[in-house]
């Protein structure tokens, strides 16, 4: 599956949003060269739950498949010269340093397009390339807090709460990939390069589009935290998650009148369907009391018969055994760079019914130093000299990666 075959992406990305966004392009066949410092990018040093597979962090495994790794010292004249030669050959240069860092290295958009006029320069940042927050450190939790996302995820009883994953990073990655693909299409049609900018703040607001459009129009609510069991400030009852006798169940769409009948809610506690928003807390409280009488499985069977949209709340253990997840192939297990199998989340889009394969698992630091430099015209002797002089990083002698390919 080579939708982007022949497209070279030079990626100066670290953390999560940038690497995952560029990984989307790598999955589609782009030649992605991940440029890292001698000690490795941040994702090699942290990864959640203190877990690793043969020294590979979970963050490294998350967003770095199908990429070649080049570890160079950008602080050295030789390393900077390699980087400049590399970006001159690129279709896309992607980075997520703080604004201004790449300019100081002579690798910013204006510098690159002088030698590569059709380049797509894609920058991911915390708050955008300019403005009062441009120099602030941008990170998922910080932006969840600033953007209102933590507020609307929290409850009126419990206060703000972060989403349980780096949701802004992940959505930002999708926007990053989409922006680059749009710019590539523009270049294909008009022969022009472009600059693409995506920020965590943009991503966080875009992620809340429905909620924000509701808030910004008409009378503004005083409190946007969740009400009782209801899953969002602007939703009507019954929309929410409720405890049952032995677990939890989500109720999505269904008439309050039908639900009251199914749950045998006393008539004095029923809220008419036309009052589902204004009296949402009252309605959800009555639903919550009634649901405690049976198990989640029992209610699921009853709701299915009455066409009430719902789902029993699962966890990661149940997700791993979910038949639809297995059918869709959402997880892929493949030999890792060290040879030990690793399980990854598969590419999320199907093309003619197929997902792109894992051609290269996340690579060891500098695994493709020699082959990338050879592509740029450096001789074998020059590459060895760079290695000896400490211009190149990585633990392996110059050569190709141990595991050149892996299949899904």
Q: Is beta strand 310-312 parallel, antiparallel or unpaired with respect to 240-243?
A: unpaired
Domain 8-206+333-389: which CATH class?
alpha beta
Residue 397: predicted pLDDT: 55
Q: Write a three-state SS string for 329-385.
A: CCEEEEECCCCCEEEEECCCCCECCECCCCCCCCCCCCCCHHHHHHHCCCCHHHHHH
pLDDT, tens only, 132-153 = 999 999 999 999 999 999 999 9
pLDDT, tens only, 316-332 = 999 989 999 999 999 99
Residue 53: predicted pLDDT: 97
pLDDT, tens only, 44-77 = 999 899 999 999 999 999 999 999 999 999 999 9
By residue count, the chain amounts to 408
Q: Cα separation of 253 and 243, whole Å?
A: 17
Say which of 73, 91, 169, 202 is annotated catalytic. 169
Q: Is beta strand 248-251 parallel, antiparallel or unpaired with respect to 310-312?
A: antiparallel
Residue 206: predicted pLDDT: 98
Domain-wise residue ranges, the chain: 8-206+333-389, 240-318
Clarify whether 307 is annotated catalytic.
no
Judge whether residue 405 has pLDDT over 70: no
Judge whether residue 83 has pLDDT over 90: yes
Judge whether residue 362 has pLDDT over 90: yes
Evaluated on CA atoms 258, 260, 263, 266, the torsion sign reads negative
Judge whether residue 395 has pLDDT over 90: no
Q: Decide: 217 and 236 in contact? Cβ < 8 Å.
A: no
Q: Cα separation of 172 and 206, whole Å?
A: 9
Q: Cα separation of 270 and 263, whole Å?
A: 10
Residue 346: predicted pLDDT: 98
User: Quick one: fold of 240-318?
Assistant: formyl-coa transferase, domain 3 (3.30.1540)
pLDDT, tens only, 164-181 = 999 999 999 999 999 999
Q: Write a three-state SS string for the chain.
A: CCCCCCCEEEEECCCCHHHHHHHHHHHCCCEEEEEECCCCCHHHCCCCCCCEECCEEHHHHHCCCCEEEEEECCCCHHHHHHHHHHHHCCCEEEECCCCCHHHHCCCCHHHHHHHCCCCEEEEEECCCCCCCCCCCCCCHHHHHHHCCHHHHHCECCCECCCCCCCHHHHHHHHHHHHHHHHHHHHHHHHCCCEEEEEEHHHHHHHHCHHHHHHHHCCCCCCCCCECCCECCCCCCCCCEEEECCCCEEEECCCCHHHHHHHHCCCHHHCCCHHHCCCCHHHHHHHHHHHHCCCCHHHHHHHHHHCCCCEEECCCHHHHHCCHHHHHHCCEEEEECCCCCEEEEECCCCCECCECCCCCCCCCCCCCCHHHHHHHCCCCHHHHHHHHHHCCECCCCCCCCCCCCCCCC
Residue 2: predicted pLDDT: 87
Judge whether residue 406 has pLDDT over 90: no
pLDDT band at 396 (very low <50, low <70, confident <90, very high): low
């Amino acid at each position: 599956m080579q939708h982007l075959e022949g497209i070279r992406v030079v990626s100066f990305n670290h953390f999560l949003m940038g690497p995952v966004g560029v990984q989307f392009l790598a999955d589609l066949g782009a030649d992605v060269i991940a440029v890292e410092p001698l000690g490795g990018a941040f994702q090699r040093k942290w990864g959640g739950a203190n877990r690793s597979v043969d020294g590979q962090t979970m963050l490294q495994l998350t967003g770095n498949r199908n990429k070649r790794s080049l570890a160079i010292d950008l602080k050295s004249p030789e390393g900077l010269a390699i980087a400049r030669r590399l970006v001159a050959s690129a279709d896309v240069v992607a980075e997520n340093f703080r604004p201004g860092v790449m300019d100081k290295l002579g690798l910013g958009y204006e510098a690159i397009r002088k030698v590569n006029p059709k380049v797509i320069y894609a920058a991911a940042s915390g708050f955008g390339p300019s403005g009062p927050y441009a120099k602030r450190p941008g990170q998922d939790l910080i932006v969840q807090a600033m953007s209102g996302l933590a507020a609307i995820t929290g409850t009126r009883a419990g206060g703000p709460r972060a989403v349980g994953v780096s949701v802004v990073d992940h959505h930002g990655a999708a926007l990053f990939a989409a922006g680059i693909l749009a710019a590539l299409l523009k270049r294909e049609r008009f022969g022009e390069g472009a600059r693409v900018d995506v920020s965590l703040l943009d991503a966080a607001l875009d992620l809340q589009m429905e909620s924000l459009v509701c808030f910004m129009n008409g009378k503004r609510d005083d409190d946007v935290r969740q009400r009782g069991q209801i899953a969002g400030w602007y939703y009507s009852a019954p929309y929410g998650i409720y405890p049952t006798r032995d677990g939890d169940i989500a109720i999505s769409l269904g008439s309050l009148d039908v639900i009251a009948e199914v749950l045998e809610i006393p008539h004095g506690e029923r809220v008419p369907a036309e009052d589902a928003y204004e009296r949402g807390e009252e309605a959800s409280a009555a639903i919550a009391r009634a649901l405690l009488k049976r198990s989640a499985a029992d209610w699921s069977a009853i709701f299915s018969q009455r066409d009430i949209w719902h789902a029993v709340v699962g966890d990661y253990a149940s997700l791993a055994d979910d038949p639809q997840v297995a059918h869709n192939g959402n997880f892929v297990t493949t030999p890792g760079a060290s040879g030990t199998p690793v399980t990854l989340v598969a590419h999320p889009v199907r093309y003619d019914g197929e997902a792109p394969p894992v051609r290269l698992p996340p690579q060891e630091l500098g695994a493709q130093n020699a082959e990338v430099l050879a592509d740029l015209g450096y001789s074998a002797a020059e590459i060895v000299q760079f290695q000896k002089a400490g211009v190149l990083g990585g633990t392996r002698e110059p050569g190709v990666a141990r595991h050149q390919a892996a299949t899904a």
